[in-house]
Structures are given as C-alpha cells and as structure tokens.
Structure 1
C-alpha cells in the first residue's frame, strides 16, 4: 500500500504511516525492535515489544500504531489503548465485515479515543458506514479517488441505526410541545 493521501476527519492528509509486516525479532539486548514513528505493526509484533516500550522514557509507543487483522481480538489491546498513536484495522476484502465490529468494540466497550484507521480493501462506498462504526481515518485502496471518496460522507443526510459517534434519528425526535434546552 503506497497511497500518499489518507482521509482523516473527512479531510485529505498526507500519509505518514507505514505498514510493517515483519514478525517479532529479538533485536539487540536492551533495544526495542527497530520501530520508528509512523509504523503500523501487527498485533503479534506489538505484544512482543510493548513491555520494552513501557515507561515515561519511551514516547515511541504514542507514535506507532497496531494493525489488527480480522482474526485479532481487540480486547488484547485494552491495557495499551491509552498509549497507542493509532489502531488500524485491516479489511482484506470488501466483503469482510469483521472490522466494523472491531471498531465498535474499541470505541464503545473499550473507550478508545485515539486515531482509528481502516486499511486494505477500503472503498468509497464503505466510508460513511465505517465512520458510523467509529473510524476517523481511511487508507483507501490504490484505485480509489480521494476527492470522489470525500463526497461519500454526504451521500445520506440521516440514518436510523445507532452509531458510535452520533445519536440516531429516532432518538433526536422531541415530544410535541416540548422545546430543547
């Protein structure tokens, strides 16, 4: 994936993230595996190095992210959420919806407030639904046009389903004769 532009908070931004597919390696004694700011690392690699990145002297943890695959359990990150720079969820194919559930778990049950990125087979038609599940950043598939994708956020003005960030339409209704404060 080499898309130079991400969509973050509904705006195009330069992509400073890199996906590291490497497996855990022992590294040099006393040295965290060669991670750099902007690395998105698989959960297995994060688990192998997270203890070495603990403590106030290591701010690198806040500048790297964890890449979750569909089979990864978001609950494995529950003790690390406060110090991660980002969590990316991989969509290997358009039809794999497990990432939507992982995003809702991270936002609503685990209370994650940091950057939540959709990566992989991410298409324009998914963006609004991904956002409703809690994603705020989108790494589009290479054949997708960023400008066209930005228009997807305005495809629908209201929704009836609950969302991770918004009150559903039915809950916004007001009883007759009452005014909102």
Structure 2
C-alpha cells in the first residue's frame, strides 16, 4: 500500500477507513471517516466509535458541525474538481469561525499549485493521488506564492496585498 497522505514531514499511510453511507456501523475498533450528511442525520449513532472523522463534500454546510467538532480527530474536505473552490471556504469557516484545531485534510483533486493556497486556509494534510504532484512533493518542489491579495487565516502573516491603504484614515479620504 502506497503512502498517500502528505504532511509537512513527508508522506504517510492513510489510517482512516471510509464508512460508506449505506454501510453498517463497525463493531471492531478503528479510525472511521463518515460523511457529514450521515453524521448529522444521527450523531448519537456514532457515540460508540472512539475515533471518527468527517468527510465534507462540496456544498455541505460545515456550520452544522459546530456542536460536535471536539469529537473529530480529523475533518477531510473533498475537492471534486480543480475548479471547485468551495472547499477553501469550508476550511476557513472551520478554522476561523468554528475554531477547529484538529487535522484538516484536503482530498480529491489536489494539485501542486493549490497546496500553498490550501495551507493558507488552514489545511495541514493532503491526500495526493496525482502522480506529478506526488513526485514534486517527494523532491521538495513545493511552490510558494510570494504575495497574496486576500487576508489569511494565519495570524503570523502581514496582509501586504490586502489594500492596506483602504484601512487607514488617510486612505479613506481619497
């Protein structure tokens, strides 16, 4: 089995098993990934599982997870297509508004050029199945964007490109 979870220190094996919506709840211990829709429909059904993670799909409302976030070791956000940016919004909501501190994983169509942007939104793990992206990460070729035009979820970053002149009294007088 190939290690396909990329974190800052390299590639790791995925320890989470996807529990399909129609699949019976397991009786044996393990790490299980369940869809947001299934969990929200019956959160009490998962009380017997010591470790669960949530799979968020494009269009899912992550705010419904707010009362349960402390139960999840990991939240995986699916990117069904390179051009679908809804996962970025879900990540920002989880990190900034809902203060989720567990692992935030990008899964699906994750490409090399997206990873720096995903990190800014709070992702710290990536399921990489795209072979050119994998090779680039293995050889340390992760590009960085030197200037961002939007504010970040990271408190250590200066919002240089975020129209600083518009926030100053002198800038407002223009």
TM-score (norm 2): 0.77
Partner of 1:40: 33
Q: Which residue of 1 aligns with 2:168?
A: none
Q: d(CA) in 2 for partners of 1:130 and 1:99?
A: 9
Aligned equivalent of 1:161: 150
Residue in 1 that maps onto 2:4: 5
Q: Secondary structure at the match of 2:43?
A: helix
Displacement of 1:10 in angstroms is 4.8
Give the Cα–Cα distance (whole angstroms) in 2 for the partners of residues 110 and 153 of structure 1.
29
The list of structure 1 runs, each at least 4 consecutive aligned residues, that deviate by more than 3 angstroms after superposition, is 150-154, 156-161
Q: Determine the C-alpha separation between the residues in 2 that align with 1:94 and 1:51.
A: 35
What is the CA distance between 1:16 and its match in structure 2?
1.1
Q: Specify every segment of 5 or more residues in structure 2 that has no aligned partner in the other structure, as ranges.
A: 161-174
For structure 1, the residue ranges without an aligned partner over 5 or more in a row are: 28-32, 172-181
* Structure 1 residue 143 corresponds to structure 2 residue 131: yes
Match 1:116 to one of 97, 104, 112? 104
Equivalent in the alignment of 1:107: 95
Which of 66, 71, 75 is 1:87 aligned to? 75
TM-score relative to the length of structure 1: 0.74
